[in-house]
Structure 1
Amino acid sequence: MSSAARLTAITTSTLSLLRERQRLQTTHPTLHLQQIVSNLRLLRAGVIEAESQGVDDIAGPLRAQYERLLEILGEEEARKAGLERIPLPTPPSPPSPTSSCFGERKMSPEPVYEPYTDDPDSAPALDEGGILLQQRRIMDDQDAHLTHLSSSIGRQHHISLQINDELEVQTGLLDTLDTELDGTDVRMRSARRRLERVARGAKENGSTVTIVLLILVLLVLIVVFKT
């Protein structure tokens, strides 16, 4: 039979695993589930064995601890894992009158079989130092995960700052281009107005210019022929 110290250590270890699982339920829903189920099966078998041997001072507290751990795990998870509540022990039946005919020989108690597990010895007994070491290891793992997450957030922040600087530069370039386009549009409008005035003047004074040119040509011809 498992010793009371080992069952107590299993109870303490299982409680720590359940608390850790509750804290990380959203991100790691199956954290320590296999170990917790294995520990609860060992604890249930130990309580049944202790009750069958009449060790009530050990079986009573362990039964209460098992029921408490089962409630923390949850009814649905317990049902999926095949974990059941420990049945109440049946009181011993009074000896039958016919048993005196066969002397004082006692019937051997029916053997209690522990539920089958793939690894029945997977939960070693842990003393207080072992439990503290286990908790420290879990906290170190969490610190490592938090450090990695902090580094990732820092990199994302740095990239965001670089993107913001690039956007500010691009905004300045777009503002400069918009200003230059406005100036070019003003100059184009001014040039168009001047061309329109020149074209309008040439259209209105076209005949006068032609007459002046013909007079000049005539004067040149007179000068040529006289000489």
Structure 2
Amino acid sequence: MFDLFSEDYDILGAFWVTVQLTVLSAIGSLIWGTILVAMRVSPVPVMRAFGSGYVNIVRNTPLTVIIVACSLGLSTTLGWTLGGDDFDESGFRLAVLGFIAYTSTFVCESLRAGINTVPVGQAEAARALGFGFLQVLTLVVLPQAFRSVIAPLASVLIALTKNTTVAAAIGVAEAALLMKEMIENESDAIFLVTAIFALGFVILTLPTGLLLGWVAKKVAVKR
């Protein structure tokens, strides 16, 4: 039986990296996803085409391909380290970039569905008052859209938390990479190791889903 508290296996440290990946990627995805949805509903044809093309291409590309492309394409080929000279630091930042690029497409589509729930008359009334496109979007449409899609965004966040395991493909020292190492070194305890990491992800995702589900009910738009 291996020692869970052994200095060789920093389980809490590995899950802390997972939490950091999730939080930073979630913030970036929310920002970039909001920009993308603004492009998708923009009256400018070029912006609509870019937003639609980006979402359809990236969303249908495997996440592993995107993460590896960030590592090999940006770091190895182009030499972009995103300000980190250390291999682990650079890999972490490149992984966050890849998660943002991928997850933002799902944020965009969730928000676009929320925009479709806002009555057209409200946007028309805002335009009649002299509001421009950005004013209508930011002051009238998006606040209501966000309130109506908190539950779908919670699902996106939970999926992102589980997707962080893909970062192990480029050597980021998060939970999945440590689990792989422990399974290789402690093959006689494979079921216990798997159960420990499965429980860890349940602890990370279950409260998130319950909390955001409660928030969604509290702020739901009554129509």
What TM-score results when the alignment is normalised by the length of structure 2?
A: 0.26
Structure with greater helix percent: 2
Higher relative contact order (CA 8 A, sep 6+): 2
